[in-house]
A and B are shown apart, each in its own frame.
Chain A
Amino acid sequence: MPATAINRTIDAVWRIESARLIAGLARITGDVGLAEDLAQEALLAALEQWPESGVPDKPGAWLMATAKHRAIDRLRRAEVHERKTRELGRELEIRGDVESPDLAAAIDDPFDDDLLRLVFTICHPVLSTDARVALTLRLLGGLTTKEIARAYLVSEATIAQRIVRAKRTLSAAQVPFEVPGHAELDDRLASVLEVIYLIFNEGYAATAGDDWMRPELIDEALRLGRILAELLPSEPEVHGLLALMELQASRSRARTGSSGEPILLLDQDRSRWDWLLVGRGLAALERAQNVGGALGPYTLQAAIAACHARARVADDTDWERIVALYDALAQLTPSPVVELNRAVAIGMAFGPAAALELVDALGSEPALRSYHLLPTVRGDLLVKLGRAEEAQAEFERAASLAQNTRERAVLLERMAACSPRNGG
């Protein structure tokens, strides 16, 4: 095999094996940062040796064995260092703590849920969301620093530094490599789900830049969601989040027009939806509901998305059910953004006048002050009420607040369409 082909194979092996490799090493060493260093050393060894020796039959096992040898080397070096320290007669007492007496035994004792421990550790609330996202994409997704930087439109150095700091924070806070206990589980799981949904949303509604969507992040979040649904099958919100992402992703193709402009849900050509993903999303929603318990926020949002997915044409949408689901969501997670969405649903179910009242009441919300969707929704309702001039001002304001180039262009068009010269 030529060297480039070997390198592509190594990339593919890394994609498949890296998360389990790092998870296994983290259990042995108790340190995620060290585990990733060891895994990277094994990857470098593969890049050096495989072009000569060929790709081994079990590349994953090869990488693990190589990384374990490095781990033992490090431990021995540490022991030598320690012995010298002891000979100097210092710090005798800590020896018991520093040494890992069961290292050899631990190495041959793999657990199935190493991956789950890795998920919870790198999404630990002690880390900032940015740090959790970067660590998750890198350690769980197997993405390179360069790929993450490209997806987030920041420099490679920024991401590299973020990852180094995150690993340091985990070490300093002595975050244990474990699945949280029952008492802690809900909060810790919320932190994991938040990270995956943040990745999805950054891909689905790119907050900045010229592209409306960044598909690689959508695909990555979906993959992480599917992996998590297998790791935690009895957690309804895990399925709820997956359902929400599958259903939203099913619309990706229909969300942009031929020149890249965004197309809103009700204007989409539903034949362009990905019906395989719709089916998967509805199935995941069913699993979330079957696991039992009260519906959580992700499952409720998925149920709302499912109302759209089940409507063959936009006019068939069950808006009254959507209003009811938003009522439940607003009770569970009250927020001005949920209220705004609820107002939109009420407008569709009961007419624009009722909705406008609700939207006007949201006008003083500080959280929505620079949120471009508030004036967008208001403009939309005003158009329906025949108040074009006021609508024009709202779209202008929305355009000035939108950070995404494509979105701004659409809002400016809507503004122009409200001009009296265009017939209102």
Chain B
Amino acid sequence: MRVMVLIKATEQSEAGEMPSEELLSQMMAFNEELVKAGVMLAGDGLHPSSKGARVVFSGDERKVIDGPFAETKELLAGYWLWEVKSLDEAIEWVKRVPSPMPGTEAVIEVRPVFEADDFGDEFTPELREKEQRLREQTEARR
């Protein structure tokens, strides 16, 4: 199964504090371990929300709100995509992540990824086609 591992933001990450060299090298070592175990599919760190934006949908209106956003604990600082045998395996790997925000409480959330089959017939050929185009564009930029 595929899981998305979400690293929640903290005050430091939202303040744009870069991780220490020590943490960076620990993270690199951990990522290498994930790759060596055949678990890692993708992963990246995210800039603080001050560099991002939100689009709020209400009725026909599309309202753009620039960051930063207040609710720090609900924000994200990074993510991984992993291929694992079970949620338990993912949890076991998460326990081995070097503490992402030393000195403060940090939270990492694990969520199984929906497979297209989970949508059943709701996922029409037209929707699939659109999804494909989107994915191709995304892949092309990698």
Please give the residue numbers on chain A whose beta carbons come within 8 Å of chain B beta carbons, in ascending order.
8-9, 11-13, 15-16, 219, 222-227, 230-231, 253, 258, 269-273, 275-276, 278-280, 312
Contacts and interface: CB of A to CB of B under 8 A. Distances in A.
Contacts of B36: 227, 230-231
Given A226-B38, A276-B42, A271 B121 contact: no
Interface in B85-142: 85-86, 88-89, 91-93, 115-117, 121, 125, 128-132, 135-136, 138-139, 142
Nearest to A270: B132
B39 to A, nearest CB: 8
A11 B125 CA distance: 39
B132 A253 contact: no
24 contacts: A8-B86, A9-B91, A9-B92, A11-B86, A11-B88, A12-B88, A15-B85, A16-B93, A219-B85, A222-B83, A223-B37, A223-B39, A226-B35, A230-B35, A230-B36, A231-B36, A253-B117, A258-B121, A269-B128, A271-B125, A271-B128, A272-B116, A275-B138, A275-B139
A269 B125 CA distance: 8
Contacts of B115: 253
Given A269-B128, A270-B132, A271-B131, A16 B89 contact: yes
Contacts of A271: 125, 128-132
B81 interface: yes
Given A16-B93, A272-B116, A9 B38 contact: no
A53 to B, nearest CB: 17
B88 A227 contact: no
Contacts of B37: 16, 223, 227
B38 A223 contact: yes
B24 interface: no
A49 to B, nearest CB: 18
A279 B86 contact: no
Which of B85, B91, B121, B125 gathers most chain A CB within 10 Å? B85
Interface in B49-101: 81, 83, 85-86, 88-89, 91-93
Interface size class of B (residues with CB under 8 A): 20 to 34
B136 A9 contact: no
B41 interface: yes
Contacts of A224: 38
Which of A13, A225, A226, A270 gathers most chain B CB within 10 Å? A226
Given A219-B83, A275-B139, A13 B131 contact: no
A-B CB proximity, top 9 nearest = A271-B132, A271-B128, A226-B38, A223-B38, A275-B135, A12-B88, A12-B92, A12-B89, A227-B38
A222 B117 contact: no
A230 to B, nearest CB: 5
Contacts of B136: 275, 312
A297 to B, nearest CB: 23
Nearest to B131: A271
Given A12-B88, A276-B42, A253 B83 contact: no
B53 to A, nearest CB: 25
Which of B38, B89, B130, B135 gathers most chain A CB within 10 Å? B38
Contacts of A222: 38, 83
Given A12-B89, A16-B37, A219-B85, 9 more contacts: A11-B88, A15-B92, A219-B83, A226-B35, A271-B130, A275-B138, A275-B139, A276-B81, A279-B142
Nearest to B90: A12
Contacts of B130: 271
A227 B83 CA distance: 13
Given A253-B116, A258-B121, A276-B41, A9 B88 contact: yes
Contacts of A231: 36
Nearest to A7: B88
Nearest to A141: B85
A253 B119 CA distance: 12
Interface string B3-17: 000000000000000
